[in-house]
Amino acid sequence: MTWQNQQLPADHPPVSSGKIGVLLVNLGTPDAPDPSSVKRYLKQFLSDRRVIEIPAIAWQPILRGIILNTRPKKSAKAYAKIWTDRGSPLADITARQAEAIAGLFGENVIVDYAMRYGNPSLEQRIGELTAKGCDRILISPMYPQYCAATTATVFDEVARVLGDLRWQPALRFVPPYHDDPHYITALADDLTRQVGALSFTPEVMLLSFHGMPQRTHDLGDPYYCHCMKTARLLGEQLGQRPEFAGVRFETTFQSRFGPAQWLTPATDTTLVAEGEKGTKRLVIAAPGFSADCVETLEELALEGRDTFLEAGGEDYAVLDCLNTSASGVSMIEAMIRRELGGWV
């Protein structure tokens, strides 16, 4: 019998292969804006050894005995303020980002999205992609600036999921894009559009990034340096545009948690300081977030407004993240297309 004439055994399982998967991955969200859903989400998130770098024997009693019995109710109220008919804004926007680029790379490329914590999980999505015949998968962590507590956790979870698979797909990861010209230009173009549509001319623009404990920087994590480079490159582009003539740029860090020293200056204390020293017109951009979420829609847009106005400010706006804007989608497409080189 020649190889050409061989037939598969009748009981051979069906095999599907030859496809390429692209998976946009963001941080995560509870399934609903209620305490039980938030508790389930926080338990998974705050149990990650990269997120909380305290030995589990010391941290888990605090997490289970105090935090998971107090924080879910407060966080659920914050989520309830921003929840939409389509559910979690973060999951909805990430899904629509994937939909916006689906079909742009040929019929053999399947584009989808996943959440690192919560649903749809990486385990679920990788399983679906491999079942559809994806033997090559490009993972795109949607974090412009690398941090072990965000980007590296995606690596960890993908490795855990693949550890249970007999047939391993070939893998690629999109690298951090904090200084990618596509990203900086997309930010500059979209922020220029939004500022041009405001009813006031800002005196100050805060570039607010998610905070991290100072210890992460001291241990060698590049996150702080990536944020500062993004802020510098973005400020250089915006400073050349008439919409930002006379605008002062400040870089800050938000979302502190716990008693440890975090990266400074803090966004909330900066808002107070700006209001008290006479700044009347202020805008905030959040270039560390690829999609709007509770940290931008509630913490910055609602809590931040109250903080600034109470300190003496008058005009305040939080600008949208890139989301599914034309600039944002073009940036994602260019980034994915580059990383698919040789596969497509």
The upper half-sphere exposure of residue 307, i.e. CA atoms within 13 Å in the direction of its Cβ, equals 18
| Sign, Cα dihedral of 129, 132, 137, 141 | negative
Burial class (CB in 10 A: 0-12, 13-18, 19+), 208: buried
Rounded distance between C-alpha atoms, residue 186 and residue 170, angstroms = 30
- What is the Cα–Cα distance from 321 to 190, expressed in whole angstroms? 9
Instruction: Identify the pLDDT of residue 6.
Output: 63
- Name which CATH class applies to 181-318: alpha beta
Q: Where are the beta strands (DSSP E) in the chain?
A: 19-29, 109-118, 134-141, 170-173, 204-210, 248-254, 281-285, 315-318
Q: How many residues does the chain have?
A: 344
User: What per-residue confidence (pLDDT) applies to 4?
Assistant: 58
Quote the CA–CA distance of 132 and 22 in Å, as a whole number. Answer: 12
Residues of the chain with pLDDT under 70: 1-8, 12-15
| Protein fold of 25-177 | Rossmann fold (3.40.50)
pLDDT (tens digit per residue) in 197-239: 999 999 999 999 999 999 999 999 999 999 999 999 999 999 9
- CB 20 within 8 Å of CB 109: yes
Residue 3: predicted pLDDT: 53
- What pLDDT does 5 receive? 58
Domain residue spans of the chain: 25-177, 181-318
46 CB neighbour count, 10 Å cutoff? 19
181-318 has the same fold as 25-177:
yes
| DSSP label at residue 284 | E
| C-alpha to C-alpha distance for 26 and 91, rounded to whole angstroms | 8
